[in-house]
Structure 1
Amino acid sequence: MMKKLEKQNTTKQRILYLSLVLGTCYLLFGAALLIKNDIGHSVYGILQKGFTAFPVLAVLITRKITKDKSPWRFSLKVWKRPGLWLFCAFVPGILIALGAGLYFMIFPEAFSGSFHYGGLFTLAGAEAEGVMQLDSPVQFWIVTIAISAVFIPIQLLELGEEIGWREYLLPKQIERYGLRRAVLVNGLLWGIAHMPLIYFGFNYSLDNPGAPWSNMVMMLLVCMTLGIILSYVMVISGNVMYPAIVHGVVNVIGEVAVYLSVTEKSGLLGPNPTGLIGMSGLILCAAVMFCKISTGFSLQNLKSMVN
């Protein structure tokens, strides 16, 4: 009887969390569609700026309503597992750099030979212009990978999403679906939450063939790919700070490649890791990780990794 009640409560927590997160995203999406003037753009701005905060807020509300006293799987002491930290901080950036390099090898005419870093300030909401000529692309990428690895403010910011999707929801999905299926469902739902942003042109150029629908399909693949990597890291560590580091690294370095291109537009193939060629290294990494996941891994194993 107790196990049945616990299972019912877990189901309630899972459904409530998803209702809060997806409901918020799609209510704002609907409002932005209905209000097509400056106010509509403001609603989209709330969606974009609040996207990282919505998951952790949903967790807090869900815990309060359902009286969930389960432990928080979070610690800042990432130095206790230096090998895992090195992987999380450097490998995603290396794979993204290799993906961008592959894209520019296939499409050499797309490479501008300079870094238009003013575009990064524009993403942050500031107006700026600046161009840096690249005498050594390899040296440029080494520096960029190093910066993204230690860009702690963004890594801490990404805790908002990771606490919701990987720290709170993933264990409950593992209990419901088993590990392999849970990892896939988690990534898919995370991707669905991104769809309102992608519809309005976030992460992709609306000039892409079939946009915004093609962009939305590609983003689902991105979230499924990254979701496997993030979930795998969460499972083996039991500490949400590690996937937050991966997420932060991807977000910092992920916008760099497009500002090396002639068009400065994110396409369906690249050069950013939101394109098929740009994320090819991440896809390979995710495939290896997914193959290593054991179907016999239980929720109790995940909980035991916290301490």
Structure 2
Amino acid sequence: MPNKKKTLLRIALYLILAYVPVYILCFAFSDKEGSLTSVLAGNTLMLYPAIAVIITRIVTREGLHNSFLGFGKRNSGKYYALAVLYPIALPYVSALLLHLFVVKNGSITDSAALSDGTSAVAMLLLSIATGFATAVHGFGEELGWRGYLTPKLEELMPAPAAVIVTGIIWALWHGPLLAYGYDFGRDYDFFPYGGFIAMIVMCIFWSAFLTWLTKRTNSVYPAALCHMLIDTVLTSNLMPFTYNANGDKFELRTNDFWGQIISVFPMIIVAGAVSMVLMWRKKSSGENKKALS
């Protein structure tokens, strides 16, 4: 019981330090549309989970033990590759689903993205380069969520539950921005509650995928790289598929909110679900080996 109480106190301290500065900045500098009026404030938001970890570890005298700061186990290269390839594939799979199920008139071949291949390639390369250049922001979040919160929650509950709880906490960390339309806009029924629900679902499944990357490599860097590339690659490369070559937006069968869920969420859910299964199988295999030894 004392150890569980100590873990709970550490989690509570971490969450206060991660949440409070972000909520203060988001409410103080909100443009009421889902973004911030201060560039400086916006550029520091993703760093607060890491700052919270550092302060928590100092206050609790944990040090850097089990901080996942190494570059990974042997043969971690394939997971780094996956951390890059998944975000690159995401907008194109999403674009295909968008045109199969959401776009009412027009074809994917008529999209602005495919009408000018040179610009599309340039946009992809620029977004990838931006992701690598700003990977420190992804590190800021991943050191906190996957490198500290999830392992601490695993001391209190089964790993799948820890992944889910982390996803919920991670989603609600975006609360002030979601309340004003961040990520999902404002033009949908039950705004902003639908956005909160969608963000929670998205973060739970991405939490599973990013946790799997972290566990397989024993490092937060693949997850940090993947996280930042998702942020820089997805929207910028999916957007041109929503317009035709003349610059007119395709007519959709539904609003943008549901269009985003139908097109983007399937690959998020598949990646997260597969990751959960792989983590569960790995854990079960390890337990069976211990039982036989």
TM-score normalised to structure 2 length: 0.78
With over 3 angstroms needed to count, the CA separation of the structure-2 counterparts of 1:270 and 1:49, relative to structure 1, is farther
Question: Equivalent residue for 1:269?
Answer: 258
Rounded to whole Å, the distance in 2 between the matches of 1:201 and 1:241 is 30
Number of matched pairs: 270
Question: Equivalent residue for 1:279?
Answer: 265
Whether 1:65 aligns to 2:59 is yes
Higher relative contact order (CA 8 A, sep 6+): 2
Rounded to whole Å, the distance in 2 between the matches of 1:77 and 1:152 is 18
Q: Structure 1 stretch 256-265 or stretch 45-54: which is displaced more?
A: 256-265
Q: CA deviation at 1:150?
A: 8.6
Structure 2 residue aligned with 1:51, among 26, 45, 51?
Answer: 45
Question: Conserved in 2, the CA contact under 8 Å of 1:22 and 1:193?
Answer: yes
Map 1:180-259 → 2, pairs under 5 A: 180-256=160-236, 257-259=238-240
* Aligned-partner residue type, residue 44 of structure 2: G
Whether 1:11 aligns to 2:11 is no
Rounded to whole Å, the distance in 2 between the matches of 1:25 and 1:171 is 22
SS at match of 1:158: helix
Structure 1 residue aligned with 2:100, among 93, 101, 105?
Answer: 105
SS at match of 1:283: helix
Rounded to whole Å, the distance in 1 between the matches of 2:125 and 2:39 is 29
Q: CA deviation at 1:45?
A: 5.9
Q: CA deviation at 1:245?
A: 1.6
Q: Structure 1 stretch 82-91 or stretch 182-191: which is displaced more?
A: 82-91
Q: CA deviation at 1:201?
A: 2.2
* Aligned-partner residue type, residue 9 of structure 1: K
Unaligned runs of 5+ in 2: 244-248, 288-293
Rounded to whole Å, the distance in 2 between the matches of 1:48 and 1:78 is 34
Question: Conserved in 1, the CA contact under 8 Å of 2:70 and 2:218?
Answer: no
Q: CA deviation at 1:41?
A: 5.8
Rounded to whole Å, the distance in 2 between the matches of 1:141 and 1:99 is 17
Question: Conserved in 2, the CA contact under 8 Å of 1:90 and 1:146?
Answer: no
Question: Conserved in 2, the CA contact under 8 Å of 1:47 and 1:197?
Answer: no
Q: Structure 1 stretch 187-196 or stretch 79-88: which is displaced more?
A: 79-88
Question: Equivalent residue for 1:126?
Answer: none
RMSD: 3.5
Identity %: 20
Map 1:85-234 → 2, pairs under 5 A: 85-108=80-103, 109=105, 113-115=111-113, 134-136=115-117, 140=120, 144=124, 148=128, 151-234=131-214
Deviations 1:126-180 (A, max 9, x none): xxxxxxx72459x947982896389422323210000011111111111111211
* Aligned-partner residue type, residue 93 of structure 2: L
Q: Structure 1 stretch 72-81 or stretch 99-108: which is displaced more?
A: 72-81
Unaligned runs of 5+ in 1: 116-132, 302-307
Rounded to whole Å, the distance in 2 between the matches of 1:79 and 1:149 is 26
Rounded to whole Å, the distance in 2 between the matches of 1:203 and 1:45 is 18
Rounded to whole Å, the distance in 2 between the matches of 1:41 and 1:161 is 18
TM-score normalised to structure 1 length: 0.75
Question: Conserved in 1, the CA contact under 8 Å of 2:168 and 2:200?
Answer: yes
Question: Conserved in 2, the CA contact under 8 Å of 1:174 and 1:182?
Answer: yes
Rounded to whole Å, the distance in 2 between the matches of 1:165 and 1:276 is 27
